[in-house]
């Protein structure tokens, strides 16, 4: 499993020779100006919800790559009306076996609407089961007791939002790591906008003090998970 960070909550997971791009928001993010989206060729694009800071570059990257989009049913239907006919719609609690592994859509506590105001269904997180590993992406979410349902999944890695204001902040993300019973955390959804700027050194100290392994990859950096 390879994880490449593209800033905000955007990253690519490479599993079983397939590239899964999550929540593409790159060109509007000045911190990610070194990333050229025309070079991205994902096989799949997974969307946690419909907010602009998660789908801004969806259409261009999908057109360049022909990637199959995986999203909640309402977003899949919205995409069909925008010319992406074969998006794979799922819903909370459901899993599906793709050619790279299994995806389960899980609860996120947030809101979701499309950039044109259309209803976006519920926001979601994902668990990816591939290469004998389990990776959880929480999406945009508050700390929620539903995370305790993941405690017996034996997750290997979790990407959690830590930026506060729109999602969990550092303190709640540390609690979330306990709820999901996972020590290996990748922090996302921070520093992009003024309301979600965090004190990175303080965040690192808090995670270390909680006995957790926090990774904050640089934009463009790849981690072997
Ligand atoms: Ni959001
Ligand atoms: Mn967001």
Residues with CB in 5 Å of ion ligand 2: 53, 140
Which 8-state DSSP code applies to residue 191? Answer: S
Q: Residue 140 C-alpha to ligand 1 middle, in angstroms?
A: 5
Among the bound ligands, name the one nearest to the CA of residue 163: 2
Which 8-state DSSP code applies to residue 110? Answer: S
Containing domain of residue 16, as a range?
2-224
Q: How confident is the model at residue 196 (pLDDT cuts 50, 70, 90)?
A: very high
Q: Cβ distance 177 to 183 under 8 Å?
A: yes
pLDDT per residue over 59-87, tens digit each? 999 999 999 999 999 999 999 999 999 89
Q: Residue 205 C-alpha to ligand 2 middle, in angstroms?
A: 24
pTM for the whole thing?
Answer: 0.98
pLDDT per residue over 152-180, tens digit each? 999 999 999 999 999 999 999 999 999 99
Which CATH number does the domain housing residue 96 bear? 3.60.15.10
Considering only CA atoms, give the Rg of the chain.
Answer: 16
Q: How many domains does the chain have?
A: 1
- Gap between the Cα atoms of 7 and 30, Å rounded: 9
């Amino acid at each position: 499993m390879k994880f490449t960070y593209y800033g905000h909550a955007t990253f690519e997971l490479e599993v079983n020779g397939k590239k899964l791009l999550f929540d593409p928001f790159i060109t509007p993010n000045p911190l990610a100006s070194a990333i050229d989206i025309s070079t991205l060729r994902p096989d799949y694009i997974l969307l946690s919800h419909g907010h602009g800071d998660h789908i801004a570059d969806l259409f261009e990257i999908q057109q360049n790559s022909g990637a199959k989009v995986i999203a909640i049913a309402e977003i899949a239907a919205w995409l069909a009306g925008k010319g992406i006919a074969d998006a794979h719609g799922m819903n909370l609690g459901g899993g599906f076996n793709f050619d790279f592994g299994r995806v389960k859509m899980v609860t996120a506590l947030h809101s979701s609407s499309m950039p044109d105001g259309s209803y976006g269904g519920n926001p979601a997180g994902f668990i990816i089961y591939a290469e004998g590993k389990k990776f959880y992406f929480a999406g945009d979410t508050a700390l929620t007791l539903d995370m305790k349902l993941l405690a017996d999944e034996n997750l290997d890695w979790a990407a959690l939002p830590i930026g506060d204001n729109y999602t969990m902040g550092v303190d709640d993300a540390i609690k979330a790591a306990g709820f999901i019973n996972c020590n290996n955390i990748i922090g996302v959804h921070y520093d992009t906008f003024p309301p979600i700027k965090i004190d990175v050194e303080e965040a690192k100290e808090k995670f270390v003090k909680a006995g957790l392994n926090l990774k904050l990859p640089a934009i463009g950096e790849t981690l072997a998970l």
